[in-house]
């Protein structure tokens, strides 16, 4: 009996050993084929990533082409900002964040001012991804430090992502949830993002690579909350730290002398000022007087009246102040009067078109702006992405399947463009056209001269405005609208009220800027997507149109610059045909003035901002 038991035990042990070796062999086979599949997936490893085509800068580049690598460091640049601030959290709808409040935070990838659709490693020294971009691995530099000297690790990257995914702006959270399947830490300095199967992944490595990174330990220790207004900034790793906060009055940022990334090629010749100071003013005229008196040293002039007539003060005459126009190759910011499409009086596009006809840009440009501006009809004005002429065959291939959803004329006509008005404030031909549109829409003139619908409701339009300077532009527009029989008024509010009402969609019309990109993608959903019309701080107009949603999908799916251009032009046509905005104006130059203590490179990058030339030298 004992012999049988012993024999059975030996048999079981042999079986276990055989099974163990069998599993080990099977595991080796599985790992072999997995490794082979991984190899066959053609993994790309690089110092950067481009949406289409190659990268301009090689892995061993010394510095960006548009910087002076030997620029001296030191001194201060100061600017002005409008209104006030009560928070240093730029990622919340609570409070009003201070100017440049996002400058503390760096990202895994960063862009340049002389390339389109290219991203280079900043916090990440390299990235890895398959050809279909269904996932991406970021390899973090081992020497990255937060401004308190603590090391930045994969744990901070993942924590920052999770906070944004849970507490970021609602429209942004929705996009992350739709696109990112998982985030995992592969090592102390390695993070992998895996994207949702079936979504367009062309831009997703750049999307997650552009998320701000902050310290997990500091966030928890200080009990911070991304959704709340707060004066204690999250701890970042960027070249500047907060130096002084005088709430609502002054902000001073100081260069971190121990900045970890000083010698990186992407940073050489940049971040040269020891201090950046922001002075707040209640109105535009007071801010100009402050500049004339030397309270701050750099001014990006946005008021045409001041630019044309105000620069005759002693400091300019003595040569202490320089007045200069710098080239602006950027997309026009799409500045517009926008309609709140949630309002009942704006449901009919004929009403919106009629109201738009009463803004006389030509008279305004000649009388108020000294001829300095151009009309910005397209949301991609000043670029090849703007729709022109009748639709091309390639555009029609995208638009024709949507024919039943499109406004009239999109398939056959040139894109909607604001008519050219006569030089008088009230263009009578525009008045007649607008009157016909309102009559056809059921808003007829009563005995008192006011337009009413069949229910007797007066057609009323209220302009929400927080700028004293803008009053001279809005008031003539209101006068023209009242001649049309519309009860048009201006509601002049302070900056805090304006911010709260914009965020709660409590307005009829206001001025908005649409800052589009050269390589648009999923971000378009936050500006124009139906699923964001009631949640996004960007989609203030409340655009919710099925044809627009479909065309955004085509933009996301474009696999070449040519395909992208076609899709964006088609989208531009439809957005313009919806008449949800009355385009205002733009300049193809920056009008800047500064005290004669600064210099900038002779040739500025084509995509620079008004201040970038001075920050890089």
pLDDT, tens only, 73-102: 999 999 999 999 999 999 998 999 999 999
User: Residue 536: inside a domain, yes or no?
Assistant: yes
Tell me: do 67 and 125 sit in the same domain.
yes
Distance (Å, rounded) from C-alpha 159 to C-alpha 166?
A: 11
Q: Tell which of 204, 238, 272 closes a domain.
A: 238
Cα 395 to the chain's mean position, in Å?
Answer: 26
Residues 443 and 474 placed together within one structural domain of the fold: yes
Nearest-angstrom CA–CA distance, 593 and 597: 12
Quote the tokens at residue 293.
């008196």
Percent of the chain with pLDDT over 70: 92
Helix then strand then coil, % of the chain, to nearest 5? 35, 20, 50
Distance, CA of 165 to CA of 155 (rounded, Å): 15
Cα 477 to Cα 307: distance, rounded to the nearest angstrom: 23
Give the pLDDT of residue 609: 59
CA-CA-CA-CA torsion sign (239, 241, 246, 247)? positive
What is the C-alpha to C-alpha distance for residues 115 and 518, in angstroms, rounded to an integer? 10
**What's the token pair of residue 521?**
């993608």
On whether both 295 and 354 belong to a single domain, the answer is: no
pLDDT digits (tens, 9 = 90+) for 19-28: 433 434 434 4
- The pTM of the full predicted model, rounded to 2 decimals, is 0.84
Q: Closest Cα partner for 208 from 130, 137, 117?
A: 137
Mark whether 65 and 170 lie in a shared domain: yes
Instruction: Indicate the angle between helix axes 154-167 and 170-179, nearest 10 degrees.
Output: 120
Token duo for residue 6: 């012993």
The rounded distance, in Å, linking the Cα atoms of 14 and 365 is 93
Phi and psi based region of residue 371 (left: phi greater than 0; alpha: psi -120 to 50; beta: remaining): left
Q: What is the number of domains present in the chain?
A: 3
Q: Check whether residue 594 and residue 551 sit in a common domain.
A: no
Residue 5 vs residues 8, 11, 14, 15: alpha-carbon distances, Å: 5, 10, 14, 15
The count of C-alpha atoms lying within 13 angstroms of the C-alpha of 45, restricted to the half-sphere facing its C-beta, is 3
Is the predicted pLDDT of residue 5 greater than 70, yes or no? no
Q: Per-residue pLDDT averaged across 479-490, rounded? A: 97
Give the whole-angstrom CA distance, residue 507 versus residue 81.
24
Query: Is residue 353 domain-shared with residue 399, that is, in the same domain?
Result: yes
Residue 41 has pLDDT above 70, yes or no: no
- The whole-number average pLDDT for the span 306-327 is 93
| Phi/psi at 95 (5° precision) | 75, 180
* CB contact at 8 A, 212 and 105: yes
253 inside domain: no
For 407, the domain range is 336-583
Q: How confident is the model at residue 612 (pLDDT cuts 50, 70, 90)?
A: very low
**Average pLDDT of the chain, as a whole number:** 91
pLDDT class of 40 with cuts at 50, 70, 90? low
**Most confident residue range from 21-35, 350-364, 591-605:** 350-364
| 486 and 608 fall within a common domain | no
**What is the DSSP annotation of 10-77?**
HHHHHHHHHHHHHHHHHHHHHHHHHHHHHHHT--EEESEEESSS--SS-TT--S-TTS-TT-----EE
Query: Would residue 472 count as lying in a domain?
Result: yes
Residues 559 and 607 grouped into a single domain: no
The answer to whether residue 34 is domain-embedded is no
Taking CA atoms, 100 is separated from 105, 240, 268, 554, in Å, by: 11, 10, 21, 34
- Is 8 part of a structural domain of the chain? no
Domain of 142, CATH number, reads: 3.40.190.10
> What value does the mean pLDDT take over residues 209-235?
97
CB-based contact 300:614 (threshold 8 Å): no
Distance CA 504, CA 496 (A): 13
CA–CA distances in Å: residue 95 to residues 22, 240, 481, 590: 64, 23, 34, 30
Question: What pLDDT is stored for residue 25 in this prediction?
Answer: 41
Do residues 495 and 362 share a domain?
yes
- My answer on whether 579 and 599 are in the same domain is no
Average pLDDT over residues 258-270: 97
Distances (CA, A) of 46 to 49, 124, 324: 7, 10, 40
d(CA 190, CA 154): 6
Are residue 234 and residue 186 in the same domain, yes or no?
A: yes
Whether residue 20 lies inside any domain: the answer is no
Cβ pair 270, 68 in contact under 8 A: no
Name the pLDDT band for 611 (thresholds 50, 70, 90): low
In a shared domain, residues 533 and 603:
no
Q: Where are the beta strands (DSSP E) in 57-163?
A: 76-82, 109-110, 118-121, 124-129, 135-140
Within a domain: 259: no
| CA dist., res. 339 & res. 461, Å (int) | 9
Nearest-angstrom CA–CA distance, 452 and 400: 37
Q: Is 15 a domain residue?
A: no
In this prediction, residue 39 carries a pLDDT of 46
Task: With a cut of 60, say whether residue 117 has pLDDT above it.
Answer: yes
């Amino acid at each position: 009996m004992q012999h049988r038991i012993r024999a059975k035990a030996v048999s079981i042990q042999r079986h276990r050993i055989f099974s163990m070796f069998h599993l080990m062999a099977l595991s080796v086979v599985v790992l072999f084929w997995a490794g082979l599949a991984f190899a066959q997936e053609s993994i790309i490893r690089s110092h950067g990533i481009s949406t289409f085509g190659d990268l301009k800068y090689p892995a061993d580049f010394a510095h960006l082409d548009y910087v002076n690598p030997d620029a001296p460091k030191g001194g201060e640049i100061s600017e002005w900002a409008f209104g006030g601030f009560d928070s240093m959290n730029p990622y919340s709808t609570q409070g009003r964040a201070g100017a440049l409040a996002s400058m503390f935070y760096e990202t895994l990838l960063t862009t340049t001012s002389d390339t389109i659709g290219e991203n280079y490693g900043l916090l990440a020294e390299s990235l890895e991804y398959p050809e279909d971009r269904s996932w991406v691995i970021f390899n973090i530099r081992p020497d990255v430090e937060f401004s308190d000297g603590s090391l930045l690790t994969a744990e901070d990257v993942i924590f920052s992502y999770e906070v944004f995914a849970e507490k970021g702006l609602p429209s942004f959270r929705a996009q992350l949830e739709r696109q990112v399947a998982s985030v995992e830490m592969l090592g102390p300095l390695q993070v992998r993002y895996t994207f949702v199967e079936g979504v367009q992944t062309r831009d997703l490595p750049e999307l997650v690579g552009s998320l701000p990174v902050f310290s997990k330990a500091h966030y928890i220790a200080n009990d911070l909350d991304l959704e709340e207004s707060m004066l204690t900034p999250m701890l970042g790793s960027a070249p500047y730290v907060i130096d002084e906060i005088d709430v609502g009055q002054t902000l001073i940022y100081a260069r971190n002398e121990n900045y970890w990334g000083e010698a990186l090629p992407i940073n050489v010749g940049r971040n040269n000022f020891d201090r950046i100071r922001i002075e707040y003013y209640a109105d535009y005229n007071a801010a100009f007087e402050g500049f004339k008196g030397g309270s701050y040293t750099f001014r990006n002039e946005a008021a045409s009246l001041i630019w044309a007539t105000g620069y005759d003060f002693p400091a300019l005459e003595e040569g202490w102040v320089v007045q200069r126009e710098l080239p602006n190759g950027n997309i026009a910011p799409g500045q517009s009067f926008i309609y709140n499409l949630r309002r009942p009086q704006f449901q009919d596009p004929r009403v919106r078109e009629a109201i738009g006809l009463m803004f006389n840009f030509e008279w305004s440009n000649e009388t108020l702006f000294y001829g300095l501006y151009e009309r910005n009809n397209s949301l991609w004005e000043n670029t090849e992405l703007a729709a022109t002429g009748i639709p091309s065959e390639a555009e029609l291939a995208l638009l024709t399947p949507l024919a039943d959803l499109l406004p009239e004329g999109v398939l056959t006509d040139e894109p909607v463009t604001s008519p050219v008005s006569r030089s008088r404030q009230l263009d009578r031909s525009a008045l007649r056209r607008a009157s016909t549109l309102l009559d056809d829409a059921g808003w007829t003139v009563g005995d008192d001269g006011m337009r009413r619908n069949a229910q007797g409701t007066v057609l009323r339009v209220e302009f929400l405005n927080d700028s004293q300077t803008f009053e001279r532009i809005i008031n003539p527009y209101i006068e023209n609208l009242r001649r049309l029989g519309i009860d048009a008024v201006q509601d002049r509010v302070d900056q805090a009220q304006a911010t709260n009402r914009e965020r709660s969609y409590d307005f009829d019309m206001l001025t908005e800027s649409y800052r589009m990109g050269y390589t648009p993608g999923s971000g378009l959903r936050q500006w124009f997507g139906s699923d964001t019309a009631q949640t996004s701080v960007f989609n203030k107009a409340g655009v919710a149109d099925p044809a627009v949603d479909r065309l955004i999908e085509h933009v996301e799916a474009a696999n070449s610059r040519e395909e992208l251009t076609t899709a964006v032009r088609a989208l531009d046509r439809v957005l313009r045909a919806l008449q949800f905005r009355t385009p205002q104006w733009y300049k193809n130059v920056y009008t800047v003035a500064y005290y004669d203590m600064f210099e900038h490179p002779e040739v500025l990058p084509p995509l620079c901002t008004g201040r970038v030339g001075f920050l890089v030298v």
